Amino acid sequence: MRAKSFLLPLILGCLSALNLSSMAQVKPRENAQPQQPQTKPTPGEAGKYSGPGSCASSNCHGGVQPKGLVRIAQNEYSIWAAQDKHSRAYTVLSNPVSLRIGKILGLEQAPNKSDKCLVCHALNVRSDQRAQTFQSIDDGVSCESCHGPAVGWLGPHTLKNWTHEQSLKLGMYDTRDLAKRTDRCLTCHLGTQEKEVDHTMIAAGHPDLTFELESFSSVMPRHWRPTPGANPWLSVQELAIGQTVQLREALHRLDRRASGPNWPEYSEYECFACHHSLTKPEASWRQAQGYDGRLPGAPVWNPARYAVFRHIAEAVDPSTAKQLVAALDKIEALSGKPGVGDQVAAQAKSAAELADRIAQRVQAQPYDQALTVRLLQSIAGDAVMISGQGERSAEQAAMALDSLSLAYSRNEKVANQQELRAAIDNLFQQLQSPSAYNAPRFAAQMQKVGTLLPRTQALSLTDVE
């Protein structure tokens, strides 16, 4: 069983003001009226958003019990409505914390009416994009937020022999493609030019944005089944692609921000490099570690974006990974210096191109037991470096070790599974109070996890291709 109780505070940070204790006993939304899809869209309606009620019928996706003999379980809407925090992303905008954030930011409207908030907390599309069936935005981040405007394909996709590719041509977003799925998630979980969570918003009370595709998908929880014949190591691929696309898009964001008028943008740095508990100098692991050639106290670009990724890159494309690590080192060196925004932007743009090249290799890479074990050992073996990069990097390592070890145990027998799970759970326990994070203690626990991992001969993938 995954370390869910420890993952939740990390994964649900963007909705942190919700009442987590109510998660397991939530009934489906009462205001979404089930509607039967038409096999042909109303003239002029194709490409518009129908609203989640169009998916809520029990013979569509609103069933209580999953269908057992087909890939589409037909209870996807019910899982989303009852268990997924996305369905309550709009509701959270009315709680006291959100209202206070709005007041601090000086929003002209309440958060549940402000486009600044609704752009991510609801399916807040323009009125001319809403079909006649579209009821309201208070269903939060609903079906079409991820799957795209449904009117064109909603009815036809229920027909026998209708293909996924036909739906894509009519406006469905391809969430089966893991890179595209990650892109979709990151529009809010990382941000775009139009969807921005900056240091001002974080200072006002909005959670910092963190993400890891496989872990976040698991805790949602998933409301879909794998496609027929899917690789049993699919979750390893999900982790790898998610990490790669996240770094690429983070570099694009860094490029935008560093070339803009408000650089430095402090949300690009590791939060707890500054916002941490102060101790006596003799007890400070940060001062004992030193500042590695930079001015003491100067921040660096958040290394959590590549703490785990670099291990994936080195396994899949060692040559490009070496170039990318060199580029990231330059970004680190520049990011804490004043007046060099243009240089940071140029390095970020160049590094994003390298990350995209690796992304293509990661997508084409076969995933199996050997690669899973190699990644486990490589990440755990980098305990001191990752831990020393800060709490956010430690989070990424904990989530990656959790995901990879579970993928291994689903496919292979693990004699010490209970002991291994307990050791990984302890990693998450150490992240419960981020400002009190202790790198040497976390590194020691990562090393303990490393001693419990399965072993295999470590070969470069290029050696076996």
The answer to whether residue 262 scores a pLDDT higher than 80 is: yes
Residue predicted with more confidence, 459 or 143: 143
Give the residue-averaged pLDDT of 34-48. 62
* CA dist., res. 151 & res. 142, Å (int): 15
Q: What is the pLDDT of residues 426-455, one digit of tens each?
A: 999 999 999 999 999 999 999 999 999 998
332-337: long-range contacts (C-beta < 8 A, 24 or more apart)? 332/294, 332/300, 332/301, 332/303, 333/293, 333/294, 335/264, 335/268, 335/269, 335/299, 335/300, 335/301, 336/294, 336/295, 336/298, 336/299, 336/300, 337/298
pLDDT of residue 3: 61
Q: Are residues 283 and 420 in the same domain?
A: yes
Same domain? For 222 and 271 the reply is yes
Task: For residues 336 and 432, state if they share a domain.
Answer: yes
Looking at the DSSP bridge assignments, the partners of residue 130 are: 49
Tell me, yes or no, if the pTM score tops 0.85.
yes
Asked if the structure places residue 2 within a domain, the reply is no
Say whether both 292 and 151 belong to one domain: no
pLDDT tens-place string over residues 271-283: 998 999 998 999 9
pLDDT on residue 97:
98
Cis peptide before 221 (omega within 30 of 0): yes
Chosen domain end from 173, 192, 221: 173
At 375 the pLDDT is 98
Evaluate whether residue 97 is within a structural domain: yes
pLDDT of residue 25: 31
Check if the beta carbon of residue 146 is closer than 8 Å to that of residue 176. Answer: no
Question: What percent of the chain has a predicted confidence (pLDDT) above 90?
Answer: 78
| Whether 166 and 260 share a structural domain | no
- pLDDT tens for 179-224 read 999 999 999 999 999 999 999 999 999 999 999 999 999 999 999 9
Domain identity same for 404 and 300? yes
What kind and span of H or E run contains 440? helix 439-452
- Across 342-370, average pLDDT: 97
Shared domain for 323 and 429, answered yes or no, is yes
Residues 221 and 346 in one domain: yes
Share of the chain above pLDDT 70, in %: 88
Number of domains the chain is built from:
2
pLDDT at 42 over 80: no
- Domain contains 348: yes
Examine the pLDDT at 230 and tell me if it is beyond 50: yes
Contacts of 108 (CB under 8 A, 6+ apart): 114
Average pLDDT of the segment spanning 390-395: 97
Domain membership of residue 187 (yes or no) is no
Q: How buried is residue 323: exposed, middle or buried, by Cβ count under 10 Å (0-12/13-18/19+)?
A: middle
Nearest Cα to Cα of residue 444 among 285, 243, 276, 212 = 285
Count of residues in the chain: 465
Tokens for 58, please give them: 């029990």
DSSP state of 221: -
d(CA 355, CA 349) in angstroms, rounded, equals 10
pLDDT of res. 43: 55
Both 446 and 361 in a single domain?
yes
| DSSP-based helix, strand, coil % in the chain, nearest 5 | 55, 0, 40
Structural domain for 327, as ranges: 213-464
Confidence of residue 461 (pLDDT cuts 50, 70, 90): very low
pLDDT tens digit sequence for 65-117: 888 877 888 999 999 999 999 999 999 999 999 999 999 999 999 999 999 99
Q: Is residue 197 part of a domain?
A: no
In a domain, 265, yes or no: yes
Q: Once rounded to an integer, what is the mean pLDDT over residues 354-383? A: 97
Residues 260, 337 within the same domain: yes
Residue range 296-309: mean pLDDT, rounded? 92
Q: What per-residue confidence (pLDDT) applies to 396?
A: 98
How high is the pLDDT of residue 131?
94
Do 116 and 247 lie in one domain? The reply is no
In terms of pLDDT, which residue wins out, 247 or 294?
A: 247
Residue 341 lies in a domain: yes
Residue 46's pLDDT is 73
Q: Mean of the pLDDT values across residues 114-126?
A: 97
Q: What is the mean pLDDT of the chain?
A: 89
Q: Is there a domain that residue 41 lies in?
A: yes
Q: Are residues 284 and 154 part of one domain?
A: no
Q: pLDDT tens digit string along 243-256?
A: 999 999 999 999 99
Cα separation, 110 vs 464, whole angstroms = 58
Looking at the predicted structure, is the pLDDT value of residue 22 above 60? no
The C-alpha atoms of residue 451 and residue 401 are separated, in whole angstroms, by 13
When pLDDT is cut at 50, 70 and 90, the band that residue 121 belongs to is: very high
Residue 301, phi then psi, degrees to nearest 5:
-55, 140
